[in-house]
Amino acid sequence: MIRKMREPLAFEISSHGKRAVRMPELDVPEKKDIFGGLPVRKEIDGFPELSEVEVTRHFTRLSQTNYCVDLGIYPLGSCTMKYNPKVNEKIASLPAFTGAHPNAPQDVVQGSLRVLKQTEDLLCEIAGMDAFSLQPAAGAHGELTGMMLIRAALEDRGDPRKYVLIPDSAHGTNPSSAHICGYTVKEIKSNEIGTIDLEGLAAVMNDDVAALMVTNPNTLGVFESDICRIAEIVHSKGGLLYMDGANMNALTGIVRPGDMGVDVLHINLHKTFSTPHGGGGPGSGPVGVKKALVPYLPVPVIGEKDGKLVLDSGRPKTIGRVRSFYGNFLVILRALAYILNLGPEGVREIAETAVLNANYIRKSLEGEFHLKYAAPTLHECVFSDKFQKEFGVSNLDIAKRLIDYGLHPPTMSFPLIVHGALMIEPTETESKRDLDFFIDAMKAIAKEAKKDPETLHAAPHVTYVRRLDETAAARNPVLKWEKK
Ligand SMILES: *Cc1c(COP(=O)(O)O)cnc(C)c1O
């Protein structure tokens, strides 16, 4: 087994007097007080002193402990950690866009306003909605905005109602968003194929229910094939249908939520539309609505006047602002560049390839890993550790062992309706070679589970740190280095 050298803190390898660069002796009078003194943090005792080669190697080694999507597959289910074309990064770093001030007069930022307007129009076309707001800064923020729109529309009708229905296969942020918006959440159970039970829905749908929030495809990767009937049932009692469209890469160019009876949805640009996802970086969760909800959209909305784009805040029924300025502009710009670059056929190919890749993995691993819901899925598939449990091996052991194979583990223990879940989303950007590498590693681990469970319990073996206590890091964080 390969063992890497443990990389110490820079403080630990420091010794007094070491320098990366040595300047010649001063031959002019020394000035100490320029800009109020040298920018050295005085509160840090024993600031690290290292040679150039030590600094270079320290940071290079640290960089090599990172796993990233530029290195290999990142199969986190419900996350869409896909590779994003570098050209979109390039476009998002053009100075004309990065240098535009959000308070600049509207006349001088017509190009930037055009970016926003065109993105709204393209998202309307892709999702089959009548209007979009680009303000929300994340998926969950989009959900909250969408639920606020539903509340505003129902209040306008005279009664905001009390309940929001959410299936047990929904993303975890859905109940939180409904709750923060003042609704009481009622969970509805999935049927044996992992979709919403129509009779169960009809039984709980009444005049007190504001909306059904449906994640489609749901977190099992299963498409709600009765979605049109679901919409009818909800609408028949005056409720609205919210769709969590965070994972649009399963649908783009094939079906449109607007055509399925969805009244409000959000899309995660930082999953489907070319912004790297993860690390808490800027996101964007645009919200699309049908005509009846347009009056309540956040302000400002982009309108057109005398051939120019204008920001319009004069809307009496608006829910107000949900974010400063106009959303995360550069994330929106990347999405526009991506959509234009792909064109209509390319947008369809996103979904075709995402679904093909997920089903290739599902088919290749069925038999080796347990599938609670065995039907073909869309963009992700959910296995469990049921077969491996017989040998005392859990989903955590499997996930940790994947690290030894040079791979990032999939999402674990979610969705909650699959015990010991391993939720795999390969995304559309993986080649067959990368998929096979992942599949082979999973198969090898399934073999090891039978023959050598001890190796799995102790995994990972090739990392600087081994099996960590996962709660200690959160409960007792060490944020400061203390000199010993
Ligand atoms: C990722 C995701 C969300 C939340 O998106 P954030 O940008 O992380 O807030 C909501 N719903 C689904 C289905 C998701 O996959």
Kindly write down the DSSP assignment for every residue of 251-275, as one continuous string. Answer: TTTT--GGGGT-SEEEE-HHHHSS-
Partners of residue 244 on adjacent β-strands:
215, 266
- If asked whether residues 377 and 292 sit together in one domain, one would say no
Whether 75 is in a domain gets the answer no
What distance in angstroms lies between residue 187's CA and the mean position of ligand 1's atoms? 19
Instruction: Please give the torsion angle defined by the CA atoms of residues 119, 125, 129 and 131, in that order, rounded to the nearest 10 degrees.
Output: 30
Whether 79 is in a domain gets the answer no
Q: What is the DSSP string of 157-223?
A: HT---SEEEEETTS-THHHHHHHHTTPEEEEE-B-TTSSB-HHHHHHH--TTEEEEEEESS-TTS--
Residue type, 84: N
pLDDT at position 1 is: 42
Distance CA(296)–CA(456), nearest Å, equals 54
Does ligand 1 come within 6 angstroms of the Cβ of 78?
Answer: yes
Q: Are 216 and 227 in contact (CB under 8 A)?
A: yes
- If asked whether residues 115 and 259 sit together in one domain, one would say yes
Distance CA(372)–CA(226), nearest Å, equals 21
pLDDT at position 280 is: 67
The CB density around residue 221, as the number of other CB atoms within 10 Å, is 30
For 154, half-sphere exposure in the C-beta direction (CA atoms, 13 angstrom radius) is 26
What distance in angstroms lies between residue 78's CA and the mean position of ligand 1's atoms? 7
- If asked whether residues 300 and 443 sit together in one domain, one would say no
Whichever domain contains 439, its CATH number is 3.90.1150.10
Q: Which atom of ligand 1 is nearest to the CA of 143?
A: 10
Enumerate residues 6+ apart whose C-beta is below 8 A from 319. Answer: 145, 148, 149, 152, 296, 297, 298
Whichever domain contains 244, its CATH number is 3.40.640.10
pTM recorded for the entire structure: 0.90
Residue type, 236: S
- If asked whether residues 329 and 385 sit together in one domain, one would say no
Task: Report how many domains make up the chain.
Answer: 3
What distance in angstroms lies between residue 350's CA and the mean position of ligand 1's atoms? 19
Question: Is the backbone of residue 120 left (phi > 0), alpha (psi -120 to 50) or beta?
Answer: alpha
- If asked whether residues 458 and 350 sit together in one domain, one would say yes
- If asked whether residues 316 and 372 sit together in one domain, one would say no
Whether 157 is in a domain gets the answer yes
Nearest to 408 by CA among 460, 464, 338, 342: 460
- If asked whether residues 319 and 368 sit together in one domain, one would say no
- If asked whether residues 15 and 119 sit together in one domain, one would say no
Does ligand 1 come within 6 angstroms of the Cβ of 216?
Answer: no
Tens of pLDDT along the chain (484 residues) come to 445 567 888 988 999 999 988 889 989 988 776 666 666 677 777 788 999 999 999 999 888 888 889 999 999 998 899 999 999 999 999 999 999 999 999 999 999 999 999 999 999 999 999 999 999 999 999 999 999 999 999 999 999 999 999 999 888 899 999 999 999 999 999 898 889 999 999 999 999 999 999 999 998 999 999 999 999 999 999 999 999 999 899 999 999 999 999 999 999 999 999 998 876 678 999 999 999 999 999 999 999 999 999 999 999 999 999 999 999 999 999 999 999 999 999 999 999 999 999 999 999 999 999 999 988 899 999 999 999 999 999 999 999 999 999 999 999 999 989 999 999 999 999 999 999 999 999 999 999 999 999 999 999 998 888 888 888 888 988 887 776 6
Whether 483 is in a domain gets the answer no
- If asked whether residues 333 and 350 sit together in one domain, one would say no
Domain boundary among 340, 358, 390: 340
Whether 71 is in a domain gets the answer no
Whether 482 is in a domain gets the answer no
- If asked whether residues 121 and 267 sit together in one domain, one would say yes
H/E run at residue 282: none
Whether 78 is in a domain gets the answer no
- If asked whether residues 280 and 174 sit together in one domain, one would say yes
H/E run at residue 308: strand 308-312
Nearest to 117 by CA among 253, 295, 310, 346: 310
Does ligand 1 come within 6 angstroms of the Cβ of 145?
Answer: no
Q: Are 126 and 290 in contact (CB under 8 A)?
A: no
Q: Which atom of ligand 1 is nearest to the CA of 140?
A: 9
What distance in angstroms lies between residue 271's CA and the mean position of ligand 1's atoms? 9
Distance CA(399)–CA(359), nearest Å, equals 20
Q: Which atom of ligand 1 is nearest to the CA of 285?
A: 7
Rg of the chain on CA atoms, in Å: 26
Enumerate residues 6+ apart whose C-beta is below 8 A from 363. Answer: none
Sheet holding 411-412, edge to edge: 370-371, 381-384, 421-424, 411-412
pLDDT at position 5 is: 64
Q: Both tokens of residue 364?
A: 């290749």
Q: What DSSP designation does 10 have?
A: T
Whether 480 is in a domain gets the answer no
Q: Which atom of ligand 1 is nearest to the CA of 271?
A: 1
- If asked whether residues 335 and 254 sit together in one domain, one would say yes
Does ligand 1 come within 6 angstroms of the Cβ of 394?
Answer: no
Q: Both tokens of residue 424?
A: 């795999």
Domain housing 251 = 86-340
Distance CA(168)–CA(189), nearest Å, equals 6
